[in-house]
Amino acid sequence: NMKDYAFEDKDHSKGDFRNYLEKEIYEQHSSLLECLEGRLEALNVYCEIDPEFLENMSEITLCSCGSSYHASLASVYLFERLAKIRARAILASEYRYAHFKSNPNELFIAISQSGETADTLEALKLAKAQGLKTISLCNAPFSMMSRISDHTLLIRAGVERSVASTKAFSSQVMLLWLLSVYIGKQLGTISKEEEKIQAKNMLNSVNAMKVEPKLHEKIKRLSKRYLHGHGFFYIGRDVFYPLALEGALKLKEISYLHAEGYASAEMKHGPIALVDSNLFTIALLSKHLLFDKTKSNIEELSARDSTICVLSSEILEIADDFIQLEESESYMEEFFRMNLAMQLLALEIAMRLNHDVDHPRNLAKSVTVE
């Protein structure tokens, strides 16, 4: 029920934090708990969406912009892998004009923190006009998108003041993950055991978002080596590819340094031509997912003298810098740990460059123009 989750700014002061961005990074543990409240009980997954609404569903289209698009891209892997349903993520600005084919059993999910993003709102109207079933995933209740979609799922991240999305992104990924398990449950494509495993992974992932002072301190010290150079590659595979895109976007937004996210294996298809010692690589090395493949991509970059910072629980000798993450039980727990580390890295680099991280130049919190 929307009314149960008051969207007031519980504590709008920065407290002991240097800026709202830092505060919001630290709030993620509690905002993720809020997101799962009533949706995860005794390792069972629940969702406000009526099971009948999901009957005969054969395909999911996720439509969004910016960080919400990266959350959508990550969730495609989860919908396909866990619910075993076809899923695609499309940028709202592209969906509107490309006349993509839809089918009657398609579920359309619009994702926007504000629920007012112009392109996403127009894409949602288009989907409705085609008679598709629609769900909005928003943070702000009573938004335009929540008014016109069949169902609204609130991510309950609380007010996000900083322009760069941190807790909204984390909550979007968490809720889409939960939704993929819930849909799998309704379609009969996920077993009771698997539901329990995923629920446990979700709870572990919430705990993974607690900021350890030791980790923040390490990243603060390490950040001073990443203030120059001619750019950053963020690389990852599978769900860590959209996460690499998000990590690169965070750095661009607040530090104004050039950064690009890539699927690890794409390096050889062109970008590796840019590599020298002044090209920084932030490598997302998952222990649970394609470890050896990603490791060999990192070795290729190292051989060409890229300066490499590896985020992993597994120590990698060839890394110039290493941000050691705590052991995770699942790749999604690693996802949240890496997300947190990259947010802190972007924050610390931007702070050292003396930027106003809450109000990056040229950006608005909510893009309400087309």
Angle at 326 between CA 259 and CA 177, to 5 degrees: 70
- pLDDT value, residue 100: 86
The CB-side HSE value for 107 (13 A sphere, CA atoms) comes to: 25
**Please, where are the H alpha helices in 41-159?**
66-78, 92-98, 118-129, 144-148
- pLDDT value, residue 3: 42
Q: Domains plus CATH for the chain?
A: 2-208 (3.40.50.10490), 213-352 (3.40.50.10490)
Higher-confidence position of 356 and 316: 356
> Within its chain, how far is the Cα of 183 from the centroid?
20
Q: Over the stretch 2-37, which tens digit does the pLDDT of each residue have?
A: 444 545 556 678 999 999 999 999 999 999 999 999
Q: Which residue has the tokens 């924050």?
A: 347
What Cα–Cα distance (Å) separates residue 143 from each residue in 52, 70, 152? Answer: 25, 21, 10
- pLDDT value, residue 2: 44
Q: Over the stretch 297-323, which tens digit does the pLDDT of each residue have?
A: 889 988 898 999 999 999 889 999 999
Encoding tokens for residue 41?
Answer: 């009980």
What Cα–Cα distance (Å) separates residue 193 from each residue in 200, 207, 284? Answer: 11, 22, 29
- pLDDT value, residue 272: 84
- pLDDT value, residue 53: 97
Mean pLDDT value across residues 219-247: 96
Mean pLDDT value across residues 282-286: 95
> What CA–CA distance (Å, rounded) separates 52 from 258?
47
Mean pLDDT value across residues 41-56: 95
Kindly report which listed range (83-87, 236-240, 282-286, 296-300) carries the lowest average pLDDT score. 296-300
- pLDDT value, residue 105: 95
Which residues are CB-contacts of 41 (< 8 A; sequence separation ≥ 6)?
A: none
- pLDDT value, residue 8: 53
The two most distant CA atoms of the chain are separated, in Å, by 56
Q: How, if at all, do strands 40-41 and 44-45 pair?
A: antiparallel
Question: Which candidate, 353, 298, 293, places its Cα nearest to that of 320?
Answer: 298
> What CA–CA distance (Å, rounded) separates 5 from 153?
12
Q: Is the per-residue pLDDT at 78 higher than 90? A: yes
Q: Over the stretch 103-149, which tens digit does the pLDDT of each residue have?
A: 999 999 999 999 999 999 999 999 999 999 999 999 999 999 999 99
Higher-confidence position of 294 and 174: 174
- pLDDT value, residue 11: 65
φ/ψ (deg, to 5) at 195:
-60, -45
> What CA–CA distance (Å, rounded) separates 244 from 241?
5
Task: Express as a percent the part of the chain with pLDDT over 90.
Answer: 84
- pLDDT value, residue 270: 93
Q: Is the per-residue pLDDT at 285 higher than 80? A: yes
φ/ψ (deg, to 5) at 49:
-90, 130
Encoding tokens for residue 158?
Answer: 């609380």
Angle at 148 between CA 142 and CA 152, to 5 degrees: 60
Residue at 26: amino acid letter: Y
Confidence of residue 1 (pLDDT cuts 50, 70, 90): very low
Q: Over the stretch 177-207, which tens digit does the pLDDT of each residue have?
A: 999 999 999 999 999 999 999 999 999 999 9
Confidence of residue 366 (pLDDT cuts 50, 70, 90): confident
What Cα–Cα distance (Å) separates residue 260 from each residue in 115, 233, 267, 348? Answer: 27, 5, 11, 18
Q: Is the per-residue pLDDT at 94 higher than 60? A: yes
Whether pTM > 0.75 for this model: the answer is: yes
